[in-house]
Amino acid sequence: MSPEEVIRRRKRRLSDRRDLGAFAIKLVVLLALLAVLFGCAFGITPMENNDMSPRISAGDLLLYYRLGDGWSAGDVLVFEKDGEQYVGRIVAGGGDTVEVTEQATLVVNGSTVVESDIYETTPRYEGDVTYPVTLEEDELFLLCDHREGGTDSRYFGPVRKSEVKGKVITVIRRSGL
């Protein structure tokens, strides 16, 4: 082998090592960025049950945004209550008065709520919630879309904003995985 070939091979090996090092650095930066994004700004969780069916089914993955708090009626939230994680839709916020009547209707601020995308009545649960409920400024009343049997505010009362983990921004269907 000529000295020029030896030098060329060494340069090529050094170049390959630099490329590999640059790739490793980019990979570490990307992983750190993803860790920060999903540790602080976003979260992902599976839907454990059919409480939000038919729109969200058991096994679907929910991507939620942690940083916002400008939620309004109709938003779907991931929240934690007594160490358990739940998913529910906002039907009332701070200052609102909520009642679930004996006739299984939802009444917010004295008006019956007609929800065109909810296909079941909203029965009252036997439990600790006494109606009507007037929400404090930092409370939300959340109901599951599957109204007959879903675990929601009818079961454990209003949810404090501090218990909310984030707002669902997209659903990844289990059939698409």
Residues 129-174 have pLDDT tens digits of 889 999 999 999 999 999 988 899 999 999 999 999 999 999 998 7
Tokens 């909203």, residue located = 122
Mean pLDDT over the full length of the chain: 89
Residue 76 banded pLDDT, cuts 50, 70, 90: very high
pTM for this one?
0.80
CB 76 within 8 A of CB 52: yes
Residue 38: predicted pLDDT: 79
Single out the residue of 47, 31, 49 nearest to residue 39, CA to CA: 31
> What does the block give as tokens for 30?
């990307």
pLDDT digits (tens, 9 = 90+) for 23-68: 888 899 999 988 888 788 899 999 999 999 888 999 999 999 999 8
> What does the block give as tokens for 40?
């602080």
> What does the block give as tokens for 101?
């009547």
> What does the block give as tokens for 77?
């939230």
Residue 127: predicted pLDDT: 78
Size of the chain, expressed as the number of residues it contains:
177
Residue 140: predicted pLDDT: 97
> What does the block give as tokens for 93?
């916020």
Q: Is 49 left (phi over 0), alpha (psi -120 to 50) or beta?
A: beta
**Calpha distance 60→78 (Å, rounded):** 13
3-state DSSP of the chain:
CCHHHHHHHHHHHHHHHHHHHHHHHHHHHHHHHHHHHHHHHEEEEECCCCCCCCCCCCCCEEEEECCCCCCCCCCEEEEEECCEEEEEEEEECCCCEEEECCCCCEEECCEECCCCCCCCCCCCCCCCCCCCEECCCCEEEEECCCCCCCCCHHHHCCEEHHHEEEEEEEEECHHHC
